[in-house]
Structure 1
Amino acid sequence: MTADSTDTLRTRHAQLLETEPKLRIRDRARRLGVTEAELVAADCGLASTALAGTAQEIFSGLGALGSVMALSRNDSAVHERHGTYLDIQANAPVGIVLGPDIDLRMFFGSWKYFYAVLENGRHSLQFFDKSGEAVHKIYRTEQTDAAAWDALVARFAAQEKPAVVIETVAVPVVADSPADAAALRAHWLALQDTHDFFLMLRQFQVSRLGALRAAGDDLAQQVEADTVEKMLTQAAATQLPIMCFVANRGIVQIHTGPVKKLLRTGPWFNVLDESFNLHLNTDAVTSSWVVSKPTVDGWVTSLELYNADGELIVQFFGARKPGQAELSAWRELLLSLCPQPQAA
Structure 2
Amino acid sequence: MLNASSNTSSGAMLPPKLRDEWMRLRELEPNLRARDLAERLGVSEAELVAIRCGDGVTRLEGPWKDLILALPELGHVMVLTRNDSCVHEKKGTFGHIDIGASMGVVLDEAIDLRLFLKHWIYGFAVREESRGRWLQSLQFFDADGCAVHKIYLTDQSHREAWSGLVGRFAAGVQSPLLDRQAVAEPLPLLLDDTQVDVASLRDAWRAMRDPHDFFALLKKHKVTRTQALRLVGPEFARPVVNASIRHALETVAASGLPIMVFVGSPGVVQIHTGPVHNIKPMGPWLNVLDEDFNLHLREDHIVESWVVKKPSPEGAVTSLELYDARGGQIVQLFGKRKPGVPELTEWRELADGLPATEDEHV
TM-score (norm 2): 0.90
Q: Which runs of 5+ in 2 are unaligned?
A: 1-7, 358-362
Alpha-carbon contact 1:221-1:338 (below 8 Å) kept: no
What is the CA distance between 1:329 and its match in structure 2?
Answer: 0.5
What is the CA distance between 1:158 and its match in structure 2?
Answer: 2.1
- Is 2:172 aligned against 1:155? no
- Is 2:119 aligned against 1:110? yes
What is the CA distance between 1:218 and its match in structure 2?
Answer: 2.6
2:71 aligned partner: 62
What is the CA distance between 1:338 and its match in structure 2?
Answer: 4.0
Question: Relative to structure 1, is the Cα distance of residues 30 and 339 closer, same or farther in structure 2, using a 3 angstrom cutoff?
Answer: closer
What is the CA distance between 1:149 and its match in structure 2?
Answer: 1.3
Alpha-carbon contact 2:87-2:297 (below 8 Å) kept: yes
What is the CA distance between 1:291 and its match in structure 2?
Answer: 0.5
Q: Which runs of 5+ in 1 are unaligned?
A: none
Alpha-carbon contact 2:244-2:355 (below 8 Å) kept: no
Aligned residues: 339
What is the CA distance between 1:176 and its match in structure 2?
Answer: 5.0
What is the CA distance between 1:160 and its match in structure 2?
Answer: 2.0
Residue 274 of structure 1: which of 282, 291, 299 is its match?
291
What is the CA distance between 1:89 and its match in structure 2?
Answer: 1.7
- Quick one: distance in 2 between partners of 1:316 and 1:255? 10
Give, as a single letter, the amino acid of the residue that structure 1 aligns with 2:206. Answer: L
- Quick one: distance in 2 between partners of 1:176 and 1:254? 32
Equivalent runs, 1:133-152 vs 2, <5 Å: 133-152=146-165
Alpha-carbon contact 1:63-1:88 (below 8 Å) kept: no
What is the CA distance between 1:306 and its match in structure 2?
Answer: 0.3
2:360 aligned partner: none
- Is 2:184 aligned against 1:170? yes
Give, as a single letter, the amino acid of the residue that structure 2 aligns with 1:197. Answer: F
Q: Identity of paired residues, percent?
A: 49
1:8 aligned partner: 17
Give, as a single letter, the amino acid of the residue that structure 1 aligns with 2:331. Answer: V
Alpha-carbon contact 1:176-1:207 (below 8 Å) kept: no
- Quick one: distance in 2 between partners of 1:160 and 1:96? 30
TM-score (norm 1): 0.95
What is the CA distance between 1:339 and its match in structure 2?
Answer: 3.6
1:253 aligned partner: 270
Give, as a single letter, the amino acid of the residue that structure 1 aligns with 2:188. Answer: V
- Quick one: distance in 1 between partners of 2:95 and 2:329? 27
- Quick one: distance in 1 between partners of 2:268 and 2:182? 17
Residue 125 of structure 1: which of 138, 151, 160 is its match?
138
1:27 aligned partner: 36
- Quick one: distance in 2 between partners of 1:118 and 1:339? 47
SS in 2 for 1:23: coil
- Quick one: distance in 1 between partners of 2:27 and 2:158? 35
- Is 2:107 aligned against 1:98? yes
Root mean square deviation, CA, Å = 1.7
- Is 2:62 aligned against 1:50? no
